[in-house]
Amino acid sequence: MTKNRAILLFIAILSLAGCAGSAELLDDLIDQQTNGTSRTATQAQMAAAVREALNQGNARAVKSLGRRDGFMKNPQVRIPMPQNLKSIDQGLRAIGQSKVADEFVLSMNRAAEAAVPLAKDVLVDAIRKMTVKDAVNIVRGPDNAATQYFRTTSEATLRKGMLPIVSNATTRVGVTRSYKSLIQQAGPLSAFVDLKSLDIDTYVTRKTLDGLFLLIAQEEKRIRENPVARTTELLKLVFG
């Protein structure tokens, strides 16, 4: 504390000595003089902090998921065999053809890993469009309020923006080829499955977004609960 601040604080103490509720007022004053900042954030600061927290979560999620085995070796987000194909999966494993099923699952996860870095800008644009009012409600909400808002308001747009990215990725890593191999190996088993209702690209896109949202929510919670995760003064002010 500087000499001038110390003098101002001493004068304030004398002024508040006879006031009702002076202890609470004095505590606030000491906090502000000691920390050099007010503990009350403006609505604009709240909005900026929520965007910053989401962008931080987005960056960490993309870094974690957009690499080899980012999906495949993370049990929280690993993309499983589609429900429509469960009977084929079980049948192939029963006759010793597990490798075919495993290769198809691997190809879907590889497609998600390839698509995530390219989807970063789609997510950033959705974050940028968040309103001040929405952000204020988020700050006052639960640990995953920002992520839930983000998902509710932007998921359809994100899915539309990510679908062509995922489609390109599934082509590059051979998901379609693995899928055809799976069906061929299934033989008569495929007759009992509604294959026409399954859109692999849409399925992988949805699961990719599920993984992104899960990791962004975890980062949001970390920022709210852990002071070390608040890496900027703005995050410290709003979420501290």
Position 39 scores a pLDDT of 53
163-199 b/e with 16+ CB inside 10 Å = b?
A: bebbbebbeebbbeebbebbbebbeebbeebeeeeee
**pTM exceeds 0.85:** no
Render pLDDT for 27-81 as a digit per residue (tens, 0 to 9): 333 343 334 444 577 888 888 888 888 888 889 999 999 999 999 999 999 999 9
Residue 94 CA, chain-centre distance (Å), reads 37
Helices 98-115 and 145-173: crossing angle in degrees, nearest 10, is 120
Distance in angstroms between the alpha carbons of the first and the last residue of the chain? 21
Residue spans of the chain under pLDDT 70: 1-39, 192, 195
What pLDDT is attached to residue 22?
37
